[in-house]
Amino acid sequence: MARTRAGRQGKTKQGRTHETELREVVTRLLTLLGEDPTRNGLEKTPERVEKALRFMTQGYKQNIDHLLNEALFPLEYYERVIVKDIDFFSMCVPSKQLVNAVEGAKPAYLVKPGDRLWTLDRGYAKQTTVTQVTSRKTRAVVEVKTDRGKFRVTPDHPIMTGTGWQEAQNLEPGTQVEWTNPKSLCRERYGAKPGYALGYALGATAADGSIQDGRRICLVVKKQDFADKYRKMLAQAFPPLEPTVERVLVPSGFLKKTIPMYRVRVVARDIAEKFCRWLAVLEQGARSKPTVFQFPKVVTASQEMMQGFWDGYCDGDGTVAGKARFIISANQPFLAELANYLETPVSKAANGDGCGRVYVSPRWAQAGWFNKHGFRQQREFYVPEESMYATVVGVRHLPPSKKPFTVYSFKCDPYPTFLIAGHLTHNCEHHMLPFFGRCHVGYLPRKKVVGLSKIPRIVDMFSRRLQVQERLTVQIAEAIQDKLKPAGVGVVVEARHLCMMMRGVEKQNTIAVTSSMLGAFRTQQQTREEFLKLIRRGGAGDPD
């Protein structure tokens, strides 16, 4: 009895699950193929392959009697019954869905081998090249809507979320999906250089600068040396940026006159968006000094960046007492985060206008001083540079249309991923090579018919196994013959095989056609020809 229960739970004698063993086999396979299973992009491949194999082979667990489940009806009907265009499945993009190509967004059906697509790699926008395009027809399409837009894909198309790849049909409202603004893919980009300069620029901006509409960074101050240093730090942090210091006249409501000031302004959405993410500032509508921002933990990547942040913030909105510093702000949550990191309390500022202050000792980085941890790295210098997260609002299955959708799959190199409406998606790097297409089934009933929906279910049951097309065709025909006892059964399968398209002979337009004719469909030529005439139309995967 104990052995039976263990079997039901899918456990081996050592207590390991079959899923774990299968993932270990895939890891070993990747190693034998010369890959590093731990590299970026392959860490979760064993898990994905295990799940994909179980999904694609779930037909082994299905039983024909349970599947029909009292769906056989006695009926005096002797004419042929035909169910056409039963689709196989794959991960694809509908023909009219826009894909983010380097030369501009284009519908999926216009993407050709050699085209370059945009993708994201560790948060950075990169280009990848389409090496192969395949297509097929399907009626199963879902529309994913996020707070950044919407797109359509097949239900099992993988989407990158905050917790890893998920099939589109399994996304739930609130799920975070990696996204980048497609309108900014072709803009000039500045690689942020970590160090003292970047920390200073962040601190000065938080203290006395502004981030305007997510595209401009501006600092207007009275002291020219402060403006000169800020300009210098920005240039060092974002080469080849070359900001300038301008003399401007700013009206003073208190003095009732204009006063001379110094301004450093950078118009670069790429840099402004980075600052917004690091400081957790909304990108839209900020036209003045940010009053609500978070302590940018990115500066904890190094002691030099932290020191730069202290110096930049104090030059803008703090005080210096010898080698010590006081960070002053009315932003209480920011001060609380800062004090927590430094293990020191928040006190009231001397001006008594609701501001608080945090003391930064000249020994702040020294571990063990007054039992404090000193400098402590809380984050590597990695923040999604050009990506952010969009929130899923909803996923809906589109109603079946009279005309099937033509959907396309892209094989890309060196990155297997690509962007759809700015959302990061993935094609078949981690799955086996299936064959896909259409199956046509017809039978001549003898006082018994079956619910029409059961025919596609029978096709699914036998196709979701490790199969060859010839055996699949025969199994479908024999199952219907065995359970319905009709006068005859005809099954025709038209399929494209990725093993022929992606490797070996590499023929993209080859369609394999197999048939199985039983009873009257085999012995009566007229019955067979009428069936073939009724199903005759374009081959599997042909474009509209």
Q: Are residues 531 and 448 in the same domain?
A: yes
Query: What residues make up the domain containing 86?
Result: 71-90+431-544
- Judge whether 241 lies within some domain: yes
In this structure, is residue 380 part of a structural domain?
A: no
Per the CB < 8 A criterion, the answer to whether 488 and 528 are in contact is no
pLDDT at 351 (0 to 100): 64
CATH number of the domain enclosing 227: 3.10.28.10
Written as one letter, the residue type at 7 is G
Same domain, 436 and 408: no
Cβ within 8 Å of residue 307, ≥6 positions away: 196, 199, 365
Q: Which of 41, 293, 284 is nearest to 147 (CA)?
A: 284
What is the average per-residue pLDDT within 327-352? 87
Cα separation, 305 vs 310, in Å, equals 9
Question: Regarding predicted confidence, which is higher, 123 or 431?
Answer: 123
Is 514 found in the same domain as 417?
no
- Residue 77 placed within a domain: yes
Q: Which CATH number does the domain housing residue 122 bear?
A: 2.170.16.10
Most confidently modeled range among 26-30, 134-138, 327-331, 422-426: 327-331
Rounded mean pLDDT, 387-415: 84
Is the pLDDT at 278 greater than 80, yes or no?
yes
Confidence of residue 5 (pLDDT cuts 50, 70, 90): very low
Q: How many domains does the chain have?
A: 4
Domain membership flag for residue 378: no
Question: Tokens at residue 224, please?
Answer: 């020219």
Clarify whether residues 228 and 367 are in a common domain. yes
pLDDT score for 541: 43
Last residue of a domain, one of 324, 348, 371: 371
| Confidence (pLDDT) at 304 | 95
Instruction: Determine the pLDDT at residue 69.
Output: 64
Q: Are residues 415 and 458 in the same domain?
A: no
> Catalytic amino acids?
428-431, 469, 497, 499
Check whether residue 390 and residue 355 sit in a common domain: no
Whether residue 349 is found in the same domain as residue 462 = no
SS3 71: coil
> Is 462 inside any structural domain?
yes
Ranges 165-179, 284-298, 305-319: which has the least confidence: 284-298
170 and 106, same structural domain?
yes
Asked if residue 318 and residue 201 are part of one domain, the reply reads: yes
pLDDT at 422: 86
What's the whole-number mean pLDDT along residues 179-192?
Answer: 79
Asked if the structure places residue 376 within a domain, the reply is: no
Q: Model confidence at 126, in pLDDT bands (50, 70, 90)? A: confident
Helical axes 196-208 vs 224-237, angle rounded to 10°: 130
377: in domain = no
| pLDDT band, very low/low/confident/very high, at 256 (cuts 50, 70, 90) | confident
Phi, psi of 480 (to 5 degrees): -70, -40
Q: Is residue 211 domain-shared with residue 181, that is, in the same domain? A: no
Which residue is associated with the tokens 């509908």? 94
Q: Which of 56-70, 340-354, 360-374, 416-430 has the highest mean pLDDT?
A: 360-374
Does 517 map to a domain? Answer: yes
Q: Where are the beta strands (DSSP E) in 40-80?
A: 72-74
Task: Write the DSSP string, 445-502.
Answer: -SSEEE-TTHHHHHHHHHHSSS--HHHHHHHHHHHHHHHH--SEEEEEEEEEEHHHHS
Q: What CATH number is attached to the domain comprising 45?
A: 1.10.286.10
Give the pLDDT confidence score for residue 336 in this predicted structure. 92
What is the edge-to-edge ordering of all strands in the sheet holding 124-138? 93-94, 405-413, 124-138, 116-121
Residue of 320 and 298 predicted with greater confidence: 298
**Least confident among 4-8, 175-179, 417-421:** 4-8
For residue 306, give the H/E element and its range.
Answer: helix 303-317
pLDDT of 495:
77
Residue 200 pLDDT more than 90? Answer: yes
- Which CATH number characterizes residue 542's domain? 3.30.1130.10
User: What's the pLDDT score for residue 12?
Assistant: 44
In contact, 400 and 189? CB cutoff 8 Å: no
Buried-exposed string 266-286: b where 16+ CB fall within 10 A, e elsewhere: bebbbbbbbbbbbbebebeeb
Structure token digits, residue 2: 């104990």
> Which pLDDT tens digit goes with each residue over 41-51?
677 788 877 87
Average pLDDT for residues 216-221, to the nearest whole number?
93
Please indicate, yes or no, whether residues 7 and 109 belong to a single structural domain of this protein: no
The pLDDT, as a whole number, for residue 86 is: 55
* pLDDT tens-digit series, residues 85-117: 554 443 466 788 889 999 888 998 899 989 999
CA R_g for the chain:
32
Sequence-ordered alpha helix ranges (H) in 209-289:
224-237, 269-279
The whole-number pLDDT of residue 75 equals 55
Asked whether residue 504 carries a pLDDT value surpassing 70, the answer given is no
Asked which of 69-78, 91-100, 223-232 is least confident by mean pLDDT, the reply is 69-78
Mean pLDDT of the chain: 80
Statement to judge: residues 229 and 363 lie in one domain: yes
> Are 336 and 328 in contact, with CB atoms under 8 Å apart?
no
Higher-pLDDT residue of 68 and 475 is 475
Share of the chain above pLDDT 90, in %: 25
Judged by average pLDDT, the poorest of 137-141, 202-206, 239-243, 525-529 is 137-141
